[in-house]
């Protein structure tokens, strides 16, 4: 091989390495290390606490106090565990959906229950349909079929609640919380832990 | 006076020497995927030292490819880097040039 051909080959290799570097860094940057599975479990538990408090404590403050408290707790934990993560457009889009749905639910439920113009079935249907909306929108952004399934769970609960008795709608709501929050949140946490492990293994190999 | 970089063959595009540096290229590629990123996140992703990372980010900042924002969060200093519009354009142009050069290299 002549010197000129060798030089060309080296230049080609260097350019290919640069292109690979760009691809690798873009893939690295897009890898989300954000973990949100715990929020689903936390809010699932919060719904159960609010239901138990409202049922046995007969308090009008049960829902608003539990929801605001859980919102603050979510903010504090999220800022502690996710403070170093960069903001992505996708992350902001999902955050926007959940924040908007959360505020909408809070305003609607607080106003409707204070005015006394809402029965239990309607309350459950409103909460369930909004949670279905947020899950569906997130799943479409993330292209995540599993989350869309849980959106269907919420929508089904909303639809059933419109036709069911108070007792039936309560059972449907409790079941939907269990599936849509506790089961989905736990599944998400397991997936996130597996993903993290896989990334660490891959990263270790890359730096070896 | 042209800055040192990869010498192109006649008719082929020249590679931007500011972006061509390995660490600077890695940083711009990373920043193209996020809205803004902390110094510590960039350091972890590129596996680089504070000094080298700071120097390369400064070069990108001087070229107008990244914007820096310094603030305090919970009394802790935080330095955030964001890719500018010209930085995104420069990276796009660099990738196009790279592909053209590689195409010509493959055709040799």
Are A109 and A154 part of one and the same domain?
Answer: yes
Given a contact cutoff of 8 angstroms between Cβ atoms, the answer to whether A12 and B105 are in contact is yes
Are A73 and A14 part of one and the same domain?
Answer: no
Are A20 and A77 part of one and the same domain?
Answer: no
Closest Cα in chain B to A87: B35
Position B18 scores a pLDDT of 92
> How would you list the strands of the sheet with B37-38, edge to edge?
B37-38, B76-83, B66-73
Give the span between the Cα atoms of B57 and B42, in whole angstroms: 10
* Residue with more model confidence, A1 or A104: A104
Question: Residue A86 and residue B105: Cβ atoms within 8 Å?
Answer: no
Helix (H, G, I), strand (E, B) or coil at A35: coil
Are A161 and A76 part of one and the same domain?
Answer: yes
Q: What is the pTM of this model?
A: 0.70
Quick one: A173 exposed, middle or buried, by C-beta within 10 A (0-12, 13-18, 19+)? buried
ipTM of the complex: 0.81
Given a contact cutoff of 8 angstroms between Cβ atoms, the answer to whether B53 and B66 are in contact is no
Q: Which domain holds residue A11?
A: 1-30
A1 pLDDT above the threshold of 60: no
Domain total in chain A = 2
Which residues 6+ apart lie within 8 Å of B80 measured at CB?
B36, B37, B38, B39, B68, B69, B70, B71
Of A50, A31, A34, the closest CA to residue A42 belongs to A50
State pLDDT tens for residues B69-107: 988 877 778 889 999 999 999 999 999 998 888 886 544
Are A70 and A139 part of one and the same domain?
Answer: yes
B48 phi, psi to nearest 5 deg: -110, 170
Closest Cα in chain A to B47: A207
A2 pLDDT above the threshold of 50: yes
Closest Cα in chain B to A204: B47
**pLDDT above 90 covers what percent of chain A?**
48
Are A84 and A11 part of one and the same domain?
Answer: no
For each of the domains in chain B, give its residue range(s) and CATH number, in order of start.
17-107 (1.10.10.10)
Q: Looking at residue B52, what DSSP letter applies?
A: H
- Output the six-digit token pair for A207: 């730096």
DSSP letters, A115-147, are HT---HHHHHHHHHHHHHHHHHHHHHHHT-HHH
Of B59, B50, B67, the closest CA to residue B25 belongs to B59
Position A138 scores a pLDDT of 93
A205 pLDDT above the threshold of 70: no
Chain B contact for A15 (CB, 8 A cutoff) = yes
Question: Residue A25 and residue B41: Cβ atoms within 8 Å?
Answer: no
Instruction: Give Cα A31 to chain centroid, integer Å.
Output: 16
Are A110 and A193 part of one and the same domain?
Answer: yes
Q: Which residues of A touch B41 (CB under 8 A)?
A: 84-86
Helix (H, G, I), strand (E, B) or coil at A87: strand
Chain B contact for A19 (CB, 8 A cutoff) = yes
Smallest CA–CA separation between B81 and chain A, in Å? Answer: 10
Are A120 and A165 part of one and the same domain?
Answer: yes
Instruction: Give Cα A165 to chain centroid, integer Å.
Output: 30
Question: Residue A12 and residue B105: Cβ atoms within 8 Å?
Answer: yes
State pLDDT tens for residues A133-143: 999 999 999 88
Are A26 and A125 part of one and the same domain?
Answer: no
Give the span between the Cα atoms of B61 and B49, in whole angstroms: 18
Chain B contact for A85 (CB, 8 A cutoff) = yes
pLDDT band at A174 (very low <50, low <70, confident <90, very high): very high
Average pLDDT, chain A: 86
Are A25 and A68 part of one and the same domain?
Answer: no
Nearest-CB residue to A84 (from B6, B36, B41):
B41
State pLDDT tens for residues B9-59: 555 678 899 998 999 999 999 999 888 898 988 998 898 999 999 999 999
Sign of CA dihedral A148, A149, A154, A156: positive
Given a contact cutoff of 8 angstroms between Cβ atoms, the answer to whether A25 and A17 are in contact is no
Given a contact cutoff of 8 angstroms between Cβ atoms, the answer to whether B30 and A28 are in contact is yes
Sign of CA dihedral A54, A58, A64, A69: negative
B43 phi, psi to nearest 5 deg: -65, -45
- Output the six-digit token pair for A176: 């939907």
Give the span between the Cα atoms of B78 and B74, in whole angstroms: 10
Are A11 and A48 part of one and the same domain?
Answer: no
Q: B interface toward A at CB cutoff 8 Å?
A: 6, 20, 22, 25-26, 29-38, 40-41, 45-47, 73, 95, 98-99, 101-102, 105-106, 108
Question: Residue B102 and residue A8: Cβ atoms within 8 Å?
Answer: no
State pLDDT tens for residues A49-84: 999 998 888 777 888 899 999 999 998 888 777 656
Are A120 and A184 part of one and the same domain?
Answer: yes
């Amino acid at each position: 091989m002549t010197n000129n051909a060798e030089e060309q080959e080296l230049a080609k290799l260097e350019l290919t390495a640069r292109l690979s570097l760009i691809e690798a860094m873009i893939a690295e940057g897009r890898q989300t290390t954000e973990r949100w599975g715990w929020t689903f479990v936390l809010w699932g538990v919060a719904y159960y606490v609010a239901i138990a408090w409202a049922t046995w404590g007969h308090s009008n403050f049960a829902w608003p106090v539990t929801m605001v408290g859980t919102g603050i707790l979510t903010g504090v934990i999220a800022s502690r565990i996710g403070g170093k993560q960069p903001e992505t457009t996708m992350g902001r889009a999902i955050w926007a959906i959940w924040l908007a749905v959360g505020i909408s639910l809070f305003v609607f439920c607080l106003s409707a229950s204070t005015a006394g113009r809402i029965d239990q079935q309607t309350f459950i249907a409103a909460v369930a349909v909004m949670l279905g909306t947020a899950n569906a929108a997130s799943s479409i952004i993330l292209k995540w079929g599993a989350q869309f399934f849980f959106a269907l769970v919420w929508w089904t609960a909303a639809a059933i609640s419109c036709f069911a008795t108070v007792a039936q709608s309560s059972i449907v709501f409790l079941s939907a919380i269990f599936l849509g929050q506790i089961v989905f949140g736990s599944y998400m946490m397991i997936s996130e832990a597996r993903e993290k492990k896989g990334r660490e293994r891959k990263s270790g190999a890359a730096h070896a | 006076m042209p800055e040192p970089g990869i010498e192109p063959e006649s008719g082929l595009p020249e590679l931007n020497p500011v972006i061509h540096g390995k660490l600077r290229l890695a940083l711009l590629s990373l920043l193209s995927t996020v809205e803004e990123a902390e110094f510590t996140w960039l350091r972890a992703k590129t596996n680089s030292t504070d000094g080298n990372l700071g120097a390369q980010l400064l070069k990108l900042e001087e070229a107008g490819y990244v914007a820096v924002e310094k603030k305090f969060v919970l009394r802790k200093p935080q330095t955030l880097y964001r890719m500018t519009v010209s930085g995104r354009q420069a990276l796009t142009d660099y990738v196009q040039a790279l592909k053209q050069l590689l195409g010509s290299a493959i055709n040799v």
